[in-house]
Amino acid sequence: MAAAAKLPSLVNSAITAAKPKFNIFLQYAKVELTPPKLSDIPQIRAGIGKLLSNARSGAWKNLTVKQATLNTLVGMEVVFWFYVGECIGKRHIVGYKV
């Protein structure tokens, strides 16, 4: 009975504590989760060109551990989102219905 009486105050305190973090999440989500605009395409092309030229010249060998780790994590994120999209598209986790 005592736990049921404390439940509304616990819920209110949890909501109060979560609001600032949720607002920060929304700020990042508005920027990071939007699809690219047409004005972003030249930047994307330049980034891909820079990536390819760095791969050819061997500039990737001069990265710091922090930069290499960040690049690896970003690459893994892209792969994971690809697989999530595949699962959504085929509507199954494993295999396609033929």
Residue with tokens 């700020």: 27
Contacts of 94 (CB under 8 A, 6+ apart): none
Model confidence, pTM: 0.55
pLDDT one-digit tens code per residue, 31-81: 888 888 999 999 999 999 998 998 899 888 998 999 999 999 999 999 998
pLDDT one-digit tens code per residue, 2-30: 777 788 888 888 899 989 999 999 999 99
pLDDT at 32: 85
Contacts of 44 (CB under 8 A, 6+ apart): 36
